[in-house]
Homo-oligomer: A and B are copies of this chain.
Amino acid sequence: MPDDHSHCGHDCPDHPIDGALEILRAEGLRVTEPRKAMLTILAREHGPFSADELHKRMGKAGCDVVTIYRSLQAMEEVGVLRRCDFGDGVYRYEFNHGEHHHHHVICRVCRSVETLDVCVADSLERMARQKGYQKVTHTLEVFGVCPKCAE
């Protein structure tokens, strides 16, 4: 169950993208075709995806990759997206589901991604806050060699 929207089709009325668009408006960001297309892909295919991967998936709704970079950054800043770092020099983005947040296991060989639906870093965040840090966040990714690649 890496995708909690599996109960609905692509046109599910309360699809997360609507909430995301509202946040954009509330934050003074504009709702544009490229942004809607990007969010739709991220909502449907879950990701996380890099700018380049998104670009390739946006067939006719395609826009320049630069626009994707800029929009991903803008949408991350207002909390609509979350940036993942798999340590290969490429940033990937996925929907930010707020507190209900999870992590990934990345296969070092085939680069496949599986979701681990738990987070154990609360105690670390708490420690950081006790040391006086504000706006504390964290990144946590697990790496390994997946069963298929291990034979």
Which A residues are within 8 Å of any B CB, using their own CB? 83, 85, 87, 89, 103, 105, 107-108, 114, 116, 118, 120-121, 123-125, 127-129, 131-147, 150
Known: A120-B123, A120-B124. A139 touches B137 (CB 8 A): no
Collect the chain B residues with CB atoms within 8 Å of residue A89's CB: 89
Contact B143 A139 (CB under 8 A): yes
Collect the chain B residues with CB atoms within 8 Å of residue A114's CB: 131
Contact A139 B138 (CB under 8 A): no
Contact B132 A116 (CB under 8 A): no
Known: A89-B89, A120-B120, A124-B103. A142 touches B135 (CB 8 A): no
When chains A and B are docked, how far (Å) is the Cα of A147 from the Cα of B131?
8
Collect the chain B residues with CB atoms within 8 Å of residue A143's CB: 136-139
